[in-house]
């Protein structure tokens, strides 16, 4: 069995450079590749295009890359919790492509499965469809959306083995699975790295064929994006 294991995040990110396109898993702050993002900040590479559901918050997640002006373009579906994201978008310092959330996931999955494009009804008749091919199927109109093309996909999983087989936990199983194998290189950080055979094959969510590099992460904050509590009377 081929081992996909690398020793640390620095080895995992070998080959990244200015001007690349990255996919980053997570939804809000749930399941984001914290170690990979921190390493991208440290490397200070610029002119990036980032494909992610959102850009985290101002001082965490992709918000850290935005603070250092490392991102030129965000491809995402939500901007609401990041004031710096909003400021850069409104001032036109940052190019933003907003995509319906289901279409974002489907375009990732199309890339993962080797399809060049998909047809979706989402966005037909709106600005989302401007300049795009449309087609009717069974009396309903659809918009042609191309699969994403990315250089690296950075993924966070709960457990993985050295062959790259992955298990996600709870809501961290969001955009992470559909981004695995959707880029030229998929890099996965896991909370626990085990030997092949230790994971129950009935519970593996992503097989190792979709993974090129895997390492055991450390120092996870796992912040809660927005905490809601009751007042005790």
Q: CB–CB of 211/164 below 8 Å?
A: yes
Is the whole model's pTM more than 0.95, yes or no? no
Q: Is the pLDDT of residue 157 over 90?
A: yes
User: C-alpha angle 196/201/202, rounded to 5°?
Assistant: 160
Per-residue pLDDT tens digits for 73-124: 999 998 878 889 989 999 999 999 999 999 999 999 999 999 999 999 999 9
Query: Taking residues 199-210, what's their average pLDDT?
Result: 97
What's the confidence (pLDDT) of residue 149?
Answer: 97
What's the confidence (pLDDT) of residue 134?
Answer: 97
Q: CB–CB of 155/179 below 8 Å?
A: yes
Q: Is the pLDDT of residue 233 over 90?
A: no
Question: How many whole angstroms separate alpha carbon 55 and alpha carbon 119?
Answer: 26
Question: Which domains are assigned to the chain?
Answer: 17-102+149-216 (3.40.1080.10)
Query: Taking residues 46-53, what's their average pLDDT?
Result: 97
Q: Is the pLDDT of residue 224 over 90?
A: no
């Amino acid at each position: 069995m081929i081992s996909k294991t690398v020793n640390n995040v620095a080895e995992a990110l070998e080959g990244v450079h200015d001007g690349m396109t990255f996919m980053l898993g997570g939804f809000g702050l749930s399941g984001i590749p914290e170690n990979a993002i921190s390493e991208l900040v440290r490397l200070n590479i610029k002119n990036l295009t980032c494909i992610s559901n959102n850009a985290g918050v101002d001082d965490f997640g992709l918000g850290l890359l935005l603070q250092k002006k490392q991102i030129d373009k965000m491809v995402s579906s939500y901007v609401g919790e990041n004031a710096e994201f909003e400021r850069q978008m409104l001032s036109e310092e940052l190019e933003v492509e907003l995509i319906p959330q289901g279409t974002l996931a489907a375009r990732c999955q199309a890339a993962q499965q080797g399809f060049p494009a998909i047809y979706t009804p989402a966005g037909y008749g709106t600005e989302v469809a401007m300049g795009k091919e449309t087609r009717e199927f069974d009396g309903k109109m659809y918009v042609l959306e191309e699969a994403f093309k990315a250089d690296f996909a950075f993924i966070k999983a709960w457990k993985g083995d050295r062959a790259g087989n992955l298990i996600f936990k709870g809501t961290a199983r969001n955009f992470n699975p559909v981004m695995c194998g959707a880029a030229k290189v998929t890099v996965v950080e896991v909370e626990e790295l085990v030997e092949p055979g230790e994971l129950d094959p009935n519970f593996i969510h992503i097989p190792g064929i979709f993974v090129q590099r895997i390492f055991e992460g450390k120092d996870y904050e796992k912040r809660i994006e927005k905490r809601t509590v009751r007042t005790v009377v």
